Amino acid sequence: MAQSIQLTAPNQTTYLQPTGLFINNEFVPSVYGDTLSTVNPFDESLIASVSSAGPEDIDLAVASARNAFKSEEWQSLTGYDRGVLLTRLADLCDRDKHILATIDAWDNGKPYEQALGEDVAEVISVFRYYGGWADKIQGRTIPTSDAKLAYTRHEPIGVCGQIIPWNYPSMMAAWKLGPALACGNTVVIKAAEQTPLSILYLASLIKEAGFPAGVVNVVNGPGTTAGAAMASHQDIDKIAFTGSTNTGKAIMIAAASNLKAITLETGGKSPLLVFDDANLDQAVKWSHVGIMTNMGQICTSTSRIYVQESIYETFVEKFKQYTIENSIVGSQFDPQVNHGPQVSAAQKSRILGYLETAKREGAQLVLGDEQPSPDAKGYFVKPIIFKDTNRDMTVVREEVFGPFVVIQSFKDQKDAIDKANDTEYGLGAAVFTENITRAHNVAAAIQAGMVWINSSQDSHFAIPFGGYKQSGIGRELGEYALSAYTQVKAVHVNLGTWL
Ligand code: NAI
Ligand code: MG
C-alpha cells in the first residue's frame, strides 16, 4: 500500500494525503496489516482508507517515542529551541490552513468556514502560544534555612499517550501536542476512527518543521484495540484523553496498571441560565451559538437552558424563531451553510433515538419534528428544541452530543443554581444577567470548570479548560496545561553547615 495518495476534495482542493502510520518521522504501513476507511458525512462517499494500528504497531510507536525521549538530539534542545520548532509548526499550519480546513470539513462534516476560521485558526494559535511558553517553564527556589538551598526543576514526564475525539480533529491534536512538546515530552497520539485524516497531514508538517524523529508518532486505529493498547502500555508515562465519560473511566482503569499520570476531558451537560434582567436578544443569540455550533458536537455545549418564569414563554418563542432563521442546513462546503451533517451514522441515530425518548417521557417538542427521511443520504439532524422538561427525563440527564437542547423554567436565583448543579457533570455553564453582583455570585456557585457570563463557548487558548465532577481530571490550555505535562523534582543542597 502506498503511504500517500493524491485527493481532490469537493471544494476542488487537491493535496497529498498521507495514509500510513507516522512512526519515527516516516509514514509506514501497519504491521498488524489493518486499515480503516473514512467517509464524507454529507453523502457517505468513501474518502480514503488509512493504516490502522494493532498492539504491535503501538509497541513500535512507543519504542520510537522512548528512543527519541532519551536521545541526545531531543534532550540537548533548549526550551528556546523547542519554542522555535513549535513556532515553525504554527507557520506551516498557517501556510497550509486551507488544506487542513478542507480535510476537517470533508472528514468530519463541519462547515468549511468554521473549520478554517475557528478550528485551524486555533491550531495555529495554540502552537504559537506554547512555542512562547517553551523557554519560560521555570522551577522555584524555596527558602528554608541557611543550611539548605532548595529548588525545583519542572521536568518532562516522558512518553505521553494522547487519545483524541472526532469533533475537532486537528484542534484537539494541537491542544494535546502544544503543551506536551513545549515541556519536552515525546508523544504517541491517536485520532478518532471517524476522522483519521487531518492528523496525518499534520504529521507531515511536524516533520517539515524539523522535529527530531520519534518525538511525535501518529497512529490511527479503533479505540478498543489501538486506544486500549496505549492506555495499558507499560512504557507510556502519561495518558491524556478527550471523549466520553465511560471511555475515560475505562482508560483510567487501564492506566492504573503502571500508575500513569492522567488528564481526562470528558462529557458534559452544561447549563445556560437566563435571568429576567438579561439582555434577551443576546441571550437568545448565545443560546443558539451554545448548542447549535458544530451541530452540537461540543463537550461544553450549553445543552440545558433554564429561563426565569416571567420570561420563559417569550424566550422559547424567540429562540425557536432565531433557530429557524439562523441554522442553515446543508453541505459543509456551501458558504451559506452553518449546519452540516453529524459525524457518523451512529451519532445521527443516537440523537434521533433521544428525540423519541424525550417525546415518550413527556417533553414538549418546540422544533425538530421534520427530520430527513431515514433513507436519505448523509448524517443530517436538524435542530431539536424541547421545552417543559424536568430533572427526571433522560434527555435532561444524559449527554446527547447533537443539535438538541432542553429548556425549563426556574423561580429565583437559588432555584437556578440548584437546577444548574443537578447533574453528574461539571464542564461549562453560562449565565445571562445585567446584574453584575448576581453574575459573579452565580458564577461562583456553579460547579463547573468554565463559566461564561453573557456568552457561551467563547473559550480561548490562554484560558484553562477542563471539568468538575465526571467531566474530567486536570486542565488543558493556558499556563495550567504545563503542570499536566511536567513533573516536579525537588533538589536539596546542603550548604555546608552540616559537614
Ligand atoms: P469515545 O469516547 O469512545 O471516543 C473518543 C476517543 O477514544 C476515540 O479516539 C476512540 O478511538 C477512543 N477510545 C474508545 N474506546 C477506547 C478505549 N477503550 N481505550 C482507549 N481509547 C478508546 O466516544 P465516541 O464513541 O466517539 O462517542 C460517543 C459519545 O461520547 C458521544 O455521543 C459524546 O457524548 C461523547 N464524546 C464526547 C467528546 C468530548 O469532546 N468530550 C468527544 C467525542 C465524543
Ligand atoms: Mg469521516
Mean pLDDT of 340-346: 98
Residue 445, ligand 1, Cβ within 6 A: no
Active-site positions read: 265
pLDDT at 1 > cutoff 60:
no
Distance CA 429, CA 10 (A): 37
- Measured on CA atoms in the order 129, 130, 133, 139, is the torsion positive or negative? positive
pLDDT of 374 reads: 82
Ligand 1 pocket mutation pick from 244, 298, 477 by most atoms within 8 angstroms of CB: 244
Q: Is 231 in the pocket of ligand 1 (CB under 6 A)?
A: yes
* Residue 270 CB–ligand 1 contact under 6 Å: no
C-alpha 99 chain-centroid distance: 20
**Does the beta carbon of 244 sit less than 6 angstroms from any atom of ligand 1?**
yes
Residue 32's identity, in one-letter code, is Y
pLDDT at 2: 73
d(CA 351, CA 345): 10
Nearest-angstrom CA–CA distance, 68 and 158: 10
CATH number 3.40.309.10 is the correct assignment for the domain at 271-453: yes
Q: Is 228 in the pocket of ligand 1 (CB under 6 A)?
A: yes
So what's the pLDDT on residue 32? 85
Question: Ligand 1: which residue has its CA nearest to atom 8?
Answer: 192
Give pTM, 2 decimals: 0.98
Between the CA of 247 and the centroid of ligand 1 the distance, in Å, is: 6
Atom of ligand 1 nearest to the CA of 402: 32
Provide the residue type at 398 as one letter: E
**CA–CA separation, 97 vs 94, rounded Å?**
5
Sign of the alpha-carbon torsion through 105, 100, 473, 407: negative
Give me the mean pLDDT over the 61-67 stretch: 99
pLDDT recorded at residue 213: 98
CA Rg value for the chain: 23
Give me the pLDDT at residue 497, please: 74
pLDDT computed for residue 498 by the predictor: 66
Give the CA-trace dihedral at 246, 191, 449, 299, to 10 degrees.
-70
The CA distance from 100 to 95, in Å, is 10
Q: Please tell me the number of Cα atoms within 13 Å of 370 on its side-chain side.
A: 2
Question: Does 421 have pLDDT greater than 80?
Answer: yes
The type of residue at 84 is V
Contact 34, 43 (CB under 8 A): no
Structural contact between residues 112 and 217, judged by C-beta atoms closer than 8 angstroms: no
Q: What would the grid cell of residue 102 be?
A: 478542507
* Average pLDDT of the segment spanning 198-209: 98
Please indicate whether residue 227, judged by its CB atom, sits closer than 6 Å to ligand 1.
Answer: yes
Can you count the helices (H) and strands (E) in the chain? 17, 23
Does residue 431 carry a pLDDT above 60? yes
DSSP letter, residue 19: -
Assigned C-alpha cell, 130:
506554547
Measured from the Cα of 266, ligand 1's closest atom is: 41
Q: Which amino acid is at 467?
A: G
C-alpha 423 – ligand 1 centre gap (Å): 20
- Domain boundaries of the chain, sorted by first residue: 4-266+472-488, 271-453
- pLDDT > 70 fraction of the chain, expressed in percent and rounded: 99
Band (415; pLDDT cuts 50, 70, 90): very high
* Ligand 1 centre distance from Cα of residue 60 (Å): 24
pLDDT tier at 64 (50, 70, 90 boundaries)? very high
Distance between first and last Cα of the chain: 67
In the prediction, which pLDDT does 375 show?
Answer: 85
Average pLDDT over residues 403-415: 98
> Is 476 near ligand 1, meaning CB less than 6 Å away?
no
Residue nearest to atom 20 of ligand 1 (CA): 227
- Which 8-state DSSP code applies to residue 118? I
- Ligand 1 contact via 243 beta carbon (within 6 Å): yes
Cβ(165) – ligand 1 distance below 6 Å:
yes
Task: Express the helix, strand and coil content of the chain in percent, nearest 5 each.
Answer: 40, 25, 35
pLDDT for 369: 95
Output the average pLDDT for the chain: 97
Residue nearest to atom 42 of ligand 1 (CA): 243
Query: What confidence tier does 154 reach under pLDDT thresholds 50, 70, 90?
Result: very high
Res. 264: pLDDT tops 60 = yes
Ligand 2 (single-atom ion) residues, CB below 5 Å:
38, 107
- Mean pLDDT, residues 447-455: 98
Q: Which atom of ligand 1 is nearest to the CA of 166?
A: 43
- pLDDT-derived band at 457, boundaries 50, 70, 90: very high
Helix (H) / strand (E) element for 484: namely helix 480-484
> What is the number of the ligand closest to the CA of 166?
1
* 3-class DSSP state of 417: helix
What is the DSSP track for 373-387?
A: PTTSSS-----EEEE
**C-alpha dihedral over 235, 240, 243, 244, to 10 degrees?**
70
Question: How many Å lie between the centroid of ligand 2 and the Cα of residue 105?
Answer: 9
Mean pLDDT of 262-273: 98
Strands 450-453, 428-432: pairing kind: parallel
Is any atom of ligand 1 closer than 6 Å to the C-beta of 271?
A: no
181: helix, coil or strand?
A: helix
Ligand 1 atom closest to residue 347's alpha carbon, by position in its atom list: 32
How far apart are alpha carbons 102 and 108 in whole angstroms?
Answer: 10
Atom of ligand 1 nearest to the CA of 190: 9
**CATH-assigned architecture of domain 4-266+472-488:** 3-Layer(aba) Sandwich (3.40)
**Which one, of 110, 100, 99, lies nearest residue 40 by Cα?**
110
Ligand 2 centroid – CA 343 distance (Å): 7
What is the distance in A from the centroid of ligand 1 to the CA of 115?
20
Q: In sequence order, what are the residues at sequence separation of 6 or more whose Cβ sits closer than 8 angstroms to the Cβ of residue 94?
A: 124
SS3 27: strand
Report the nearest-CA residue for atom 40 of ligand 1: 299
Rounded Cα gap, residues 207 and 237, in angstroms: 23
Distance 296 CA to ligand 1 centre (A): 15
Reported as a pLDDT band with limits 50, 70 and 90, residue 479 is very high
Between CA 432 and CA 422 the distance in angstroms is 19
Scored b (16 or more CB within 10 A) or e, 141-157 reads eeeeeeeeeeeeebebb
Expressed in angstroms and rounded, the spacing between residue 258 Cα and the centre of ligand 2 is 34
Pocket test for ligand 1, best of 38, 241, 247, 397 (most atoms within 8 A of CB): 247
**Torsion sign (Cα): 264, 265, 271, 275:** positive
Hey, CA dihedral for 399, 426, 385, 371, is it positive or negative? Answer: negative
